[in-house]
Amino acid sequence: MGELNAVQRTQLNILIELDRVCREHGLKYFLAFGSCLGALRHKGFIPWDDDIDVLMPFADVKRLFEYRNEFGDRYFLQGRMTDPECCSIAVRLRDSNTTCIEEDEQDLKINHGIYIDIYPYYDAPATRLGLLLNILRSHIYKILVSGRPPRNHGKALAYVAKAILVLVPKGKRERTINKLESKIQNVRDGKYILDYFGQDISLFHAIIYPKEWFSEAREAEFEGHKFLIPIEAEKYMEKRYGNYMKMPPESERKHHHSYVKIDPYKSYMEYEGDR
């Protein structure tokens, strides 16, 4: 573990709050992606990382909103139901006393505090056809929620997204979004799980993980605190990253976010006139 910068320290404090509320109410969560890798390889942040990622079962994400007031005035649980202009199917827990304005969100009237990401995961359909259909549904779902083509997923998906936004006018989007969400979440096959985010998904493919890898949680050290990771975290990391304990080349050690403004000491509301 190295010395934390102020942004990482803020994110760690947000994670501590999430852990507290989840443990109090029996909600399941796991450090995910680079955060899980960091816990196993560094016992904390990957030194060049600039975010914290968490996976939660979709049902527990919905329950988390029932307890959102327990985070107090400082922390804001952000989703479509609490922040209408939010353009993601993921959820974020934000520190409202800080600022994190990203390039692709700078025009949105949302809470722009520093955050951690909370990604819902779902049961995966048992058949290849069922999985493919839900992968396609997830892309349409995310496109309609965001109201714009996805970034960093290639030109093909960008062209498809533009066509979908034309074919489904704004007046019909909410009903379509609800139908797609229902199809994605109401899978009961139960042998595998998946999330529909980032490198875990492409246009026609998604990484699926055996459900038993996430059947229980165990504690792991992360920056001097104990947080939860999947019971089979090593298998999860190996499937996602390969030899995850090997350090990447120097050229790949960089963060992946583009900020207009990031300030761990001042609320985003104090920058309202600057945008």
- CATH number of the structural domain spanning residue 99: 3.30.460
In a domain, residue 232? The reply is yes
- Contact at 8 Å (CB) between 210 and 230? no
Helices 128-146, 155-167: crossing angle, 10 deg rounding: 70
How far, in Å, CA of 160 to CA of 19, rounded? 38
Identify whether residues 135 and 182 lie together within a single domain: yes
Q: Which residues span the domain enclosing 181?
A: 125-189
The one-letter amino acid code at 20 reads: R
Which of these, 69, 89, 200, 97, lies nearest to 140 by C-alpha position? 89
Give the per-residue pLDDT at 158.
81
Give the per-residue pLDDT at 51.
92
In a domain, residue 82? The reply is yes
Identify whether residues 153 and 115 lie together within a single domain: no
In a domain, residue 202? The reply is no
Residue 210 CB partners (closer than 8 Å, separation 6+):
191, 192, 232, 235
In a domain, residue 200? The reply is no
Is the pLDDT reported for residue 2 higher than 60? no
Residue 154: count other Cβ atoms within 10 Å of its Cβ: 11
Give the per-residue pLDDT at 262.
94
**3-state SS assignment for residue 200:** helix
Q: What is the mean pLDDT of the chain?
A: 92
Identify whether residues 100 and 232 lie together within a single domain: yes
In a domain, residue 194? The reply is no
Which of these, 85, 52, 102, lies nearest to 262 by C-alpha position? 102
The number of domains in the chain is 2
Could you report the per-residue pLDDT of 205-262, keeping only the tens digit for each? 999 999 999 999 999 999 999 999 999 999 999 999 999 999 989 888 887 778 889 9
State both tokens at 133: 């259909």
Identify whether residues 113 and 131 lie together within a single domain: no
Could you report the per-residue pLDDT of 186-207, keeping only the tens digit for each? 998 779 999 999 889 988 899 9
Give the per-residue pLDDT at 160.
84
Identify whether residues 69 and 145 lie together within a single domain: no
- Contact at 8 Å (CB) between 200 and 208? no
Give the per-residue pLDDT at 87.
87
In a domain, residue 205? The reply is no
In a domain, residue 115? The reply is yes
Identify whether residues 108 and 140 lie together within a single domain: no
Identify whether residues 133 and 219 lie together within a single domain: no
DSSP 21: H
Q: Please report, in angstroms and rounded to a whole number, the separation of the first and last CA atoms in the chain.
A: 36
In a domain, residue 273? The reply is no
Phi and psi torsions of 261, nearest 5° = -155, 130
Identify whether residues 15 and 96 lie together within a single domain: yes
Identify whether residues 113 and 22 lie together within a single domain: yes
Phi and psi torsions of 118, nearest 5° = -120, 110
State both tokens at 100: 């994190």
Phi and psi torsions of 231, nearest 5° = -60, -30
* Domain finish residue from 189, 221, 243: 189
Pairing of strands 53-57, 75-78: unpaired
- The secondary structure of the chain in percent helix, strand, coil, rounded to multiples of 5, reads 45, 20, 35
- Contact at 8 Å (CB) between 267 and 247? no
Identify whether residues 114 and 135 lie together within a single domain: no
Which of these, 6, 11, 18, 77, lies nearest to 38 by C-alpha position? 11
Identify whether residues 76 and 142 lie together within a single domain: no
Identify whether residues 106 and 242 lie together within a single domain: yes
The one-letter amino acid code at 55 reads: L
